[in-house]
Amino acid sequence: MDTTVTSPLARKLGCFVALSDAELSVLERLQVRRRPFAAGREIVHQGQSDRAVYILVSGWVCSYKTLPDGARQIVDFQIPGDFLGLRSTLLQTSDHSIESVTDIQVCEVPSGDLLAAFAGTPRLATAVLWAASRDEAMVVEHLAGLGRRAAPQRVAHFLLELGARLALVGFGTKAGYACPLTQYLLADALGLSAVHINRVLRQLRELGLVTFRDGTVVFDDYGGLVALADFDPTYLDQERPLLT
Amino acid sequence: MDTTVTSPLARKLGCFVALSDAELSVLERLQVRRRPFAAGREIVHQGQSDRAVYILVSGWVCSYKTLPDGARQIVDFQIPGDFLGLRSTLLQTSDHSIESVTDIQVCEVPSGDLLAAFAGTPRLATAVLWAASRDEAMVVEHLAGLGRRAAPQRVAHFLLELGARLALVGFGTKAGYACPLTQYLLADALGLSAVHINRVLRQLRELGLVTFRDGTVVFDDYGGLVALADFDPTYLDQERPLLT
């Protein structure tokens, strides 16, 4: 099996930059140091100085900020093919914590190796800059959601965004996807209570739009849900590679 | 006068990567195409396909998302040395609008020129990746602020962050800075009403912490304000360049 084609990160970056075989093997060499973590483990602690970045190979994690009063704001969830702590490596200190939601496999990449790979493979650096831009676009969407979207739209937008992200790396379709997130995690990400999340999910199900039950999201009416959330996936997808 | 030393962008990137003379001149050559815009002009419209990125040379702009119901969420303000629409160039479509707050000068950089500069000057690409990471860290802070900070802490954190950003490019100190933002703009950024912003600013002034009046922010008690906001500037500053 050709791992250069099947690594979720290669699949994701390939949407932006048509990577050559040489560039793909640099990318794969970065991913040799694999480590498992059990569910519920803290991978990175807010404030720590990082000397490594992680690439998530399998499983789900969440990134969150803890405020001085102990409140937690989940910034985003990461899925296979996502970097963990990329921003932190560049900023030299982690501005957030990262915790595994499920059992996961990560590749640990020393910061120096990553920067050396960028220097030797500039198109790879551009592809990673794209991935970082896409991550930022997601945080901006979450900011707008938290600031300005009503609860049903916020939940619907979130489920659609996750679906589009998973589809890009081969873990979902417009029919739905497997999703290990609890209503408590959704609540901490969306600024709602778990009770409120539960009520909104029931509403969306009764409207025949989406069913999230037993670890599975089923889009009962994808178009209808997109219309409700006014979901525009252009910030997630690429129509064509920018660098060919 | 040596413009390679004085361009705000060179000053900012220089905090992360000790740029060589050759790298600095690539950066300066990107900034030859200058354009003025008057205050209140839309520079980029949400949804447009971008073929250029802008570097802000002087003045202030704001980036915002407009939601389907017309509500506006300001994502951030940009100051000299900041990229405008960098994310949009990489994502090929702008996920937000950009409007000048004051009269501004920008450099217009065609996307192709920027990507070519990255390919030929990988350390520059890394420096820009750092700048993009720092921008994302700010959006994450705003997300946490909107989701979890009380109004006085939110306003205090915002004024301190702006101060630290301006100081890095030579436009502010721990004594204060010139700030053209209205209370309406602050309100749209911080998810508060203009009346609420006004009340919080009065509170902070009466506590002897900060005075924002007549376009000037004066830190009356910088340490006290930092303590109130629990402001930790590690996500904005570099103790040392990562690439030397």
Q: What is the pLDDT of residues B104-118, one digit of tens each?
A: 999 999 888 888 888
**Residues B44, B85: contact at Cβ < 8 Å?**
yes
CA-wise closest residue to B132 among A84, A121, A87: A87
Q: Please list every residue in chain A whose beta carbon sits closer than 8 Å to the beta carbon of residue B47.
A: 232, 234
A116 inside 8 A of chain B by CB: no
Q: Do B65 and A144 touch (CB under 8 A)?
A: yes
> By mean pLDDT, which of A147-156, A216-225, B94-103, B110-119 is the weakest?
B110-119
pLDDT at residue B207, rounded to an integer: 97
Interface test with A, best of B146, B157, B186, B230 (most A CBs within 10 A): B146
Q: Please list every residue in chain B whose beta carbon sits closer than 8 Å to the beta carbon of residue A191.
A: 147
Residue from the list B93, B143, B148 with its beta carbon closest to the beta carbon of A142: B143
Question: How confident is the prediction for chain A on average, in pLDDT?
Answer: 88
CATH of span A149-235 = 1.10.10.10
Q: Do A91 and B118 touch (CB under 8 A)?
A: no
B235 inside 8 A of chain A by CB: yes
A134 inside 8 A of chain B by CB: yes
Q: Please list every residue in chain A whose beta carbon sits closer than 8 Å to the beta carbon of residue B135.
A: 136
Q: Do B144 and A73 touch (CB under 8 A)?
A: yes
Average pLDDT rounded to a whole number, residues B194-210: 97
CA-wise closest residue to A106 among A79, A126, A128, A125: A79
A241 inside 8 A of chain B by CB: no
Could you give the residue range(s) of every CATH 2.60.120.10 domain in chain B?
3-138
Does position A95 have pLDDT exceeding 90, yes or no? no
Residue A17: pLDDT band with limits 50, 70, 90: confident
Does position A202 have pLDDT exceeding 80, yes or no? yes
Q: Which of residues 190-209 of B touch A (CB under 8 A)?
A: 191
Residue A58 bridge partners (DSSP):
A105
Residue A209: pLDDT band with limits 50, 70, 90: very high
Q: Do A68 and B16 touch (CB under 8 A)?
A: no
Angstrom distances, CA of residue A60 to CA of A88, A178, A179, A182: 19, 11, 9, 12
CATH of span B3-138 = 2.60.120.10
Q: Please list every residue in chain B whose beta carbon sits closer than 8 Å to the beta carbon of residue A239.
A: 92
pLDDT at residue B203, rounded to an integer: 97
**Residues A128, A90: contact at Cβ < 8 Å?**
no
Could you give the residue range(s) of every CATH 1.10.10.10 domain in chain B?
149-235
| Tens-place pLDDT, residues B13-37 | 888 788 889 999 999 899 888 999 9
Does position A242 have pLDDT exceeding 60, yes or no? no
Q: Which of residues 22-51 of A touch B (CB under 8 A)?
A: 47
Structure tokens at A138: 């997601």
Positions of E strands within A101-154: 104-110
Q: Which of residues 138-177 of A touch B (CB under 8 A)?
A: 139-144, 146-149
- Alpha-carbon distance of A74 to A242, in angstroms, equals 31
- Alpha-carbon distance of B234 to B238, in angstroms, equals 7
Does position A23 have pLDDT exceeding 80, yes or no? yes
Q: Do A95 and B137 touch (CB under 8 A)?
A: yes
Does position A5 have pLDDT exceeding 60, yes or no? no
End-to-end Cα separation, chain A, in angstroms: 25
pLDDT at residue A75, rounded to an integer: 92
CA-wise closest residue to B230 among A54, A47, A171: A47
- Alpha-carbon distance of B68 to A231, in angstroms, equals 10
% of chain A residues with pLDDT over 90:
49
pLDDT at residue A80, rounded to an integer: 95
Does position A212 have pLDDT exceeding 50, yes or no? yes
- Alpha-carbon distance of A177 to B235, in angstroms, equals 35
* Beta-carbon pairs below 8 A across chains A and B: 163
Residue from the list A73, A92, A149 with its beta carbon closest to the beta carbon of B143: A73
